[in-house]
């Protein structure tokens, strides 16, 4: 697919407000409880986001596969604003009492399909790789058979899937699922850059990965770490969508901690407008992502 450099389309801004790894020890402003998440969601909506990417935390502040927490967070977020709710199926990784990294099982991850009230979107992660964090390496297991089961589950329930690709081979995996009919076009991608273990955040990597996407796909960039801002700006200039939020960056500028998720969304909306690209409203994003019109439309 050729990047549309002259695109004047709307930009979908996704807010990834919490993530599944770091907590208040890394930045005290990260929303952890469902109540804090609902407040952050509202502020991100007011600042120009149209999608909310979600991981949840238990009472200990660590990520959890507990459906009761997901149900509460999804419900409270839905009551606070009309953002499209997207569940990150990676859930996250946590340390046990012996400081071993523990990852949720594939079964626990499949169970996210049963969140009630049902959110509109889910991610899949299109390949297994070692995801290295400040806490150590995590083998992020995403076998094809699991992804196929997840996608089928999403289709049965009418959920839209976003495909997270961290490297070139993951795009090949997504193409295989498209060719076999498991995934149906148009596809929606997150190109994730800057994770140790995945592709680095460079212009050449972003351009190549966009070129490899199946024709007609929509895409956003997710940039983790130091090059967050410049890579997001590059993606907007290329006609792509963007994700920001405290899952992806804890710094607003060098040595300057983020004060809130809305602060990051506001900046992205401002930069989009400066480029002549208006942030998509929730209804526009729903149309762009193939979701039915919302209740308020
Ligand atoms: N933490 C991101 C780099 C997911 O939640 O499914 C990847 C992510 C995947 O957001
Ligand atoms: Zn995530």
138 — pLDDT class (breaks 50, 70, 90):
confident
pTM of the model: 0.96
Residue with CA at minimum distance from ligand 1 atom 6: 88
CA angle 21, 26, 27 (to 5 degrees): 115
Q: Ligand 1 pocket, 198 CB below 6 A?
A: no
pLDDT 10s digits, 93-114: 887 777 788 889 999 999 999 9
Q: Which ligand sits closest to the CA of 140?
A: 1
Q: Ligand 1 pocket, 15 CB below 6 A?
A: no
152 — pLDDT class (breaks 50, 70, 90):
very high
- Nearest to 46, CA basis, from 275, 281, 242, 252: 281
- Rg of the chain over all Cα atoms, to the nearest angstrom: 17
Classify residue 21 as exposed, middle or buried by CB count within 10 Å of its CB (0-12, 13-18, 19+): buried
Q: Ligand 1 pocket, 86 CB below 6 A?
A: no
- Nearest to 92, CA basis, from 19, 191, 29, 150: 19
- Nearest to 23, CA basis, from 66, 72, 62: 62
3-state secondary structure of 63: strand
Q: Ligand 1 pocket, 266 CB below 6 A?
A: no
Q: Which residues of 77-100 are buried (b: 16+ CB within 10 A; e: fewer)?
A: bbebbbbbbbbbbbbbbbeeeeee
């Amino acid at each position: 697919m050729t990047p549309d450099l002259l695109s004047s389309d709307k930009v979908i801004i996704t807010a990834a407000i919490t993530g599944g790894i770091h907590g208040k020890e890394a930045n005290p402003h990260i929303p952890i409880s469902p109540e804090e998440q609902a407040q952050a969601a509202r502020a991100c909506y007011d600042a120009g986001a149209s999608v909310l990417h979600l991981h949840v935390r238990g009472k200990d502040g660590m990520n959890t596969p507990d459906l009761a927490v997901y149900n509460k967070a999804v419900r409270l977020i839905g009551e606070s604003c009309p953002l499209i709710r997207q569940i990150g199926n990676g859930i996250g990784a946590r340390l046990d009492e012996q400081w071993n990294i523990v990852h949720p099982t594939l079964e626990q991850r499949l169970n996210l399909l049963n969140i009630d009230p049902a959110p509109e979107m889910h991610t899949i992660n299109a390949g297994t790789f070692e995801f290295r964090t400040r806490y150590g390496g995590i083998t992020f297991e995403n076998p094809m058979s699991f992804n196929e089961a997840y996608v089928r589950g999403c289709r049965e329930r009418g959920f839209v899937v976003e495909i997270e690709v961290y490297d070139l081979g993951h795009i090949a995996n997504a193409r295989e699922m498209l060719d076999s009919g498991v995934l149906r076009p148009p596809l929606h991608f997150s190109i994730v850059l800057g994770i140790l273990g995945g592709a680095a955040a460079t212009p050449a990597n972003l351009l190549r990965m966009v070129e490899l996407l199946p024709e007609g796909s929509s895409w956003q960039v997710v940039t983790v770490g130091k090059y967050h801002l410049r890579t997001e700006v590059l993606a907007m200039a290329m006609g792509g969508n963007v994700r920001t939020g405290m899952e992806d960056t804890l710094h607003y500028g060098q040595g300057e901690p983020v004060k809130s998720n809305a602060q990051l969304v506001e900046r992205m909306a401002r930069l989009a407008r400066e480029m002549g690209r208006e942030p998509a409203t929730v209804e526009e994003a729903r149309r762009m992502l193939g979701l039915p019109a919302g209740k308020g439309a």
